[in-house]
A and B are shown apart, each in its own frame.
Chain A
């Protein structure tokens, strides 16, 4: 019981306090590609502090408008408790994969509600785009992990990770890793797919009317989603090396997350944004790869 509580607190601390650091790394990398110096690594912390101190404008009388950021951040925190970050997830139980996916989707729903209830046209457009992308992307997230489920014969995330760590690389798992990596750009809100996120075309989309603390919560959810999704990706598809000592495993996980974030940041810096329908067509092409991976998994390769 004590172990569960320390792991839970450790996960929450990582998600709340360490996650903005990775965003700082991505921004510094983007500045490097732009031939400039860029903000310091702790800039996202300063941004969040500044935003939390600003005035909380209530634009509409709709109570959903204030409830949506809390829903988003709350579901991300719950998802953090179910994510393996180097070791078993703190609240793991059999079937926790479904609950994790549910909470991640609930975060997207929170953003959609915030956009739709803000009463501005741009919010509605942003909500539509988030919904379109969400429908296409969630299938890939579930599908890639189901490949692991088919092999390990359990829905428990910790056990899937442990099984893959023991059994070595499988061909179907490698193929399933590719769609998941491509999905990372969408879920984290990075170019070339940061379509619903704050962008110059529709002036911020769902976040346009959110000011001060609400915007801070939305941003925090994005930062936290980064570390959760990348940890999930690494734990299921690349679980090596694992030493068995819990604090060292968490540290190794953090370093692996840094490497993946650098890759995500480089792709973010050199790509322009593409349009929603072009993105959907691209992802339907990705489904084909997923079908192949599932087929190979069912064979047993």
Chain B
């Protein structure tokens, strides 16, 4: 019995200390590429197709339509970080970041709301924003002298 106890004690002492003072100190292994953390939505690229809502297994993406806008709400409290929305999105608007420390007191930290103006291009169907005020003032070509 003593030999086995010595062997166990040897295993323990050879390992040394393996715990890290993690929130107060540096991380041992920062997450690598391909880690599925919290999602990040790039509103410029989104075309409002609703593919992410169709494929989300936790059904936390809700789509409501007004006359000209489509409102997409992401309730990330229930997110399971599966990554299907990022795979399915045709414009790569949804990316998975490397954030995993997501505990918070505030519900609004885990709620994303995007409003997409549904003005679609006649040819390809991609949504784009209308002319801004500055664009409307622009006349193409050289400055005409009277």
Residues of A near any B CB (own CB < 8 A)? 32-37, 266, 270-271
Q: Indicate if B144 sits at the interface (CB-CB under 8 A).
A: no
Q: Indicate if B9 sits at the interface (CB-CB under 8 A).
A: yes
Q: Indicate if B140 sits at the interface (CB-CB under 8 A).
A: no
Please report the C-alpha to C-alpha distance between residue A32 and residue B16 in the assembled complex, in whole angstroms.
8
Q: Are B16 and A270 in contact (CB under 8 A)?
A: no
Please report the C-alpha to C-alpha distance between residue A33 and residue B104 in the assembled complex, in whole angstroms.
35
Note all chain B residues with C-beta closer than 8 A to A37: 17, 19, 21
Please report the C-alpha to C-alpha distance between residue A271 and residue B6 in the assembled complex, in whole angstroms.
11
Q: Are B9 and A35 in contact (CB under 8 A)?
A: no
Note all chain B residues with C-beta closer than 8 A to A32: 12-13, 17
Note all chain A residues with C-beta closer than 8 A to B9: 33, 266, 270
Cβ-defined partner of A35 (8 Å) among B5, B8, B15, B21: B15
Q: Give, as a whole number of angstroms, the nearest-CB distance from B5 to chain A.
A: 5
Please report the C-alpha to C-alpha distance between residue A52 and residue B19 in the assembled complex, in whole angstroms.
31
Please report the C-alpha to C-alpha distance between residue A155 and residue B38 in the assembled complex, in whole angstroms.
74
Q: How many residues of B contact A (CB 8 A)?
A: 11
- Residues 6 to 36 of chain B near chain A (Cβ within 8 Å): 8-9, 12-13, 15-19, 21
Residues of B near any A CB (own CB < 8 A)? 5, 8-9, 12-13, 15-19, 21
Please report the C-alpha to C-alpha distance between residue A111 and residue B17 in the assembled complex, in whole angstroms.
37
**Can you name 18 extra interface pairs (CB under 8 A) apart from A35-B16, A35-B17?**
A32-B12, A32-B13, A32-B17, A33-B9, A33-B12, A33-B13, A34-B12, A35-B12, A35-B19, A36-B17, A36-B18, A36-B19, A37-B21, A266-B9, A270-B5, A270-B8, A270-B12, A271-B5
B5, B16, B17, B21 — most chain A CB neighbours (10 Å): B17
* Closest 6 A/B residue pairs (Cβ): A36-B19, A35-B15, A33-B12, A35-B18, A270-B5, A270-B8
Please report the C-alpha to C-alpha distance between residue A270 and residue B16 in the assembled complex, in whole angstroms.
16
Please report the C-alpha to C-alpha distance between residue A172 and residue B120 in the assembled complex, in whole angstroms.
100
Note all chain B residues with C-beta closer than 8 A to A33: 9, 12-13
Note all chain A residues with C-beta closer than 8 A to B5: 270-271
Note all chain B residues with C-beta closer than 8 A to A35: 12, 15-19
Note all chain A residues with C-beta closer than 8 A to B21: 37
Note all chain B residues with C-beta closer than 8 A to A266: 9
Please report the C-alpha to C-alpha distance between residue A37 and residue B18 in the assembled complex, in whole angstroms.
8
Note all chain A residues with C-beta closer than 8 A to B18: 35-36
Q: Give, as a whole number of angstroms, the nearest-CB distance from A273 to chain B.
A: 15
Please report the C-alpha to C-alpha distance between residue A32 and residue B17 in the assembled complex, in whole angstroms.
7
Note all chain A residues with C-beta closer than 8 A to B8: 270
Please report the C-alpha to C-alpha distance between residue A33 and residue B9 in the assembled complex, in whole angstroms.
7
Q: Give, as a whole number of angstroms, the nearest-CB distance from B63 to chain A.
A: 48
Q: Give, as a whole number of angstroms, the nearest-CB distance from B55 to chain A.
A: 42
Please report the C-alpha to C-alpha distance between residue A271 and residue B2 in the assembled complex, in whole angstroms.
11
Closest to B12 in A: A33
